[in-house]
Amino acid sequence: MRRNRRLIVALLTCTPALGQVEFLEETFEYDKDYPPVGYWIGNVTTPASSEAILVGALEIKLADDRYALRMTLLGVGALNKECVLVAARGSALTFDLVAAGGMYRFVGEIDAAGQRLAGKVSPVDEAEGGEEHSSFEFARSIRPTDLPDPLAFTGELDAQGMKLGMSIILARTPAGNWVGHIDVPMHVLNAFPLINLSEDEGVIHAVMAVPGDPAIDVSLDEHKQHMTGTFKQSGMELEIAFVRDVNYAYKELPRPQHPKPPYPYEVREVSIEHPDGHRLAGTLTVPAGQGPHPAAVLISGSGPQDRDETLLGHKPFLVIADYLTRHGIAVLRYDDRGTGQSTGEFSTATTQDFATDALAAVNYITTQDGVDPKRFGLIGHSEGAMVGPMVAGLTADVAFVVLLAGPGVPGDELLRVQLKLVMQAGGAPEQAIQTALAQQAQFFELVRQGASAEDLREAMRPVLEAQMKAMGVSDDEELPERLIEVQLDQLTSPWMRFFLTYDPRPALAGIKCPVLACNGTLDLQVWHEQNLDVIEQTITEAGGDVTAKRYEGLNHLFQPATTGSIAEYATIEITFDETVLRDIVQWIKRKVTDSKPRTNIHPPEAGPEESATKVRVGIDHESMSALPLQCIHAPERLAWQATPHRRLWDRLVGPAAV
């Protein structure tokens, strides 16, 4: 349940890259009747800077006399994302990209030579405003696979024992320039562009526009059958020894549990308004047949997650939702705030904030056709299993709670055991483990004490330098500063400060409905012996109804594993063990046979126009920290008193205005 899953090659990160595209001085042929059609690559810049903050690729095809557009723009979480065509006339083009935090409108025009597509980009709700917008400029290019003789090489990078399969595809353009792309199935990267390719004395250099400044320097043998060189990222240098792949094709990792349409149930795309003003986009699946049906809200684990909780090609929440809906249980899953198609700010949010999002989802699902508002529950995974008890303690209406790999102890205790287990699984020597634990404890104590960034920097510098030396990282004067800044952001974030000190036990003790708690014995991120036993004991001693199940050989994602190492996640075909799915369905159906009466709680009186009212929600267990829920009563924002969002307050137990 690490907030930042730091894999050696961190390719799927929604963070601006440092590099920018240098355009080729080459003219590419194109269809003058349909000038937008083709492959474009370029930069997005802000009004305040001429340097790119985002690098993107755009592919435009013609389908049924209409342009079909797909864009990769990792800075906003878009990876080969389908765009919405708004208008196209001659060389002018307008389209929308739905990505992290909202919808972005691109308004541009192709130059007279047909080689540049440039214009403005802005959030859709600001597209007509007078403020200065960001700009974009893309150059016409070509994929290596669209040229006559592409060269594909496939192999593995060995990153401290973790094998990362990869293919690098290169080709020369008619003018002799190199173009290329890279495939990394483990990270679901297909034809991800290499940029700024050059050749010097037989060594081909290229970079990727992702954090860590990854770059390759490779040479081809005389017969172009072998590629050798290095892959560099964040100061690390890994050997490339790939062989020619004459039958090259993108090798998508098998995911046999991912369902394919048509589905034997109803699928509804939904939008959930939060009282703080942001919107959660999600999917509600409703079983076939006569309802109303029992229902569940899925709550994701740590880090910015989409509604499927997509990770390394796996979609656990898609699999869970499909299985439950096929077995008569409606399911609502949603993109985290600021992620996917949801709006809002993720980076400054804490677990308490995510609990208000889950509460908004609860309010929404209980008003939907086909859903029984007296038989709904919460299913949380990892951090989501911390959120579930928070929300369940706020209302007597939750009929059940399922905790998947849920924490039962404070975050600092959990992370200490997690670090030890993960390092042991990676083969680290005991001395290195003990040193890392001591360093971690030092950092956590400084954070708990509210240490300044300067104090943290002073404590972290020698540690990071020692770690880099142990990892064989080159002595780069800029690297320590960059790593320190990343670590500082993580350690001082509102989320981390909350997580390290939050004790989930009072919230667990306050749950009044049945609880199913599940853990795998190879879960190295939430260790079953540390957490599952505490969850069971806490709820039992409080007089609650809890069923604790331990699954032999399953990891943090509930996959059948060998060691439980994070490096195994992508290599395992199974997304979520079916035994656990079956147990969840059977348990829910046993527990929701008898409907519970709804609690009738009146909302607090509305405050004055434009005023912000903070409401503190009481929990039965006296030691449970109150969960602040902030609502803006401005009618032009939410028309709060006149809309179904008032139901959020209807579902709270014992509100008291502060």
pLDDT in the model for residue 479: 52
Distance, CA of 471 to CA of 236 (rounded, Å) = 8
Question: Are the CB atoms for 407 and 414 separated by under 8 Å?
Answer: yes
pLDDT in the model for residue 159: 74
pLDDT in the model for residue 7: 23
Vertex 86 angle, CA 84 and 88, to 5°:
115
Q: Between these two residues, 469 and 17, which has the higher pLDDT value? A: 469
Q: Read off the DSSP letter of residue 353.
A: H
Q: Between these two residues, 8 and 441, which has the higher pLDDT value? A: 441
Predicted confidence (pLDDT) per residue in 553-586, tens digit: 999 999 999 999 887 898 899 999 999 999 999 9
Which residue's structure tokens are 């059940």? Answer: 400
pLDDT in the model for residue 253: 81
pLDDT in the model for residue 516: 98
Distance, CA of 426 to CA of 429 (rounded, Å) = 9
Does pLDDT of 90 surpass 90?
A: yes
pLDDT in the model for residue 312: 84
pLDDT in the model for residue 646: 27
Predicted confidence (pLDDT) per residue in 226-264, tens digit: 999 999 987 778 999 999 999 888 877 889 999 999 999
pLDDT in the model for residue 207: 93
The candidate with the shortest Cα–Cα distance to 194, out of 137, 183, 248, is 183
Q: Between these two residues, 634 and 513, which has the higher pLDDT value? A: 513
Contacts of 100 (CB under 8 A, 6+ apart): 14, 76, 77, 78, 304, 338, 339, 340
Token readout for 534 is 């505490």
Question: Are the CB atoms for 46 and 131 separated by under 8 Å?
Answer: no
Q: How many CA atoms lie within 13 A of 640 on its CB side?
A: 25
Report in angstroms the alpha-carbon separations of 287 from 53, 260, 267, 327, 403.
Answer: 44, 16, 9, 8, 23
Mean pLDDT of 8-32: 65
The candidate with the shortest Cα–Cα distance to 497, out of 437, 413, 411, is 411
pLDDT in the model for residue 52: 54
For residue 615, name the pLDDT band (cuts at 50, 70, 90).
Answer: very low
Give Dmax (Cα) for the chain. Answer: 79
pLDDT in the model for residue 3: 32
pTM for this model (two decimals): 0.77
Q: What percent of the chain has pLDDT over 90?
A: 58
Distance, CA of 208 to CA of 107 (rounded, Å) = 26
Predicted confidence (pLDDT) per residue in 174-231, tens digit: 999 999 999 988 877 889 999 999 999 999 999 998 877 789 999 999 999 999 999 9
For residue 445, name the pLDDT band (cuts at 50, 70, 90).
Answer: confident
Predicted confidence (pLDDT) per residue in 485-509, tens digit: 666 777 778 898 899 999 999 999 9
Question: Are the CB atoms for 284 and 348 separated by under 8 Å?
Answer: no
What single string gives the DSSP state of each residue in 411-447? HHHHHHHHHHHHHHHTT--HHHHHHHHHHHHHHHHHH
Does pLDDT of 650 surpass 90?
A: no
For residue 133, name the pLDDT band (cuts at 50, 70, 90).
Answer: confident
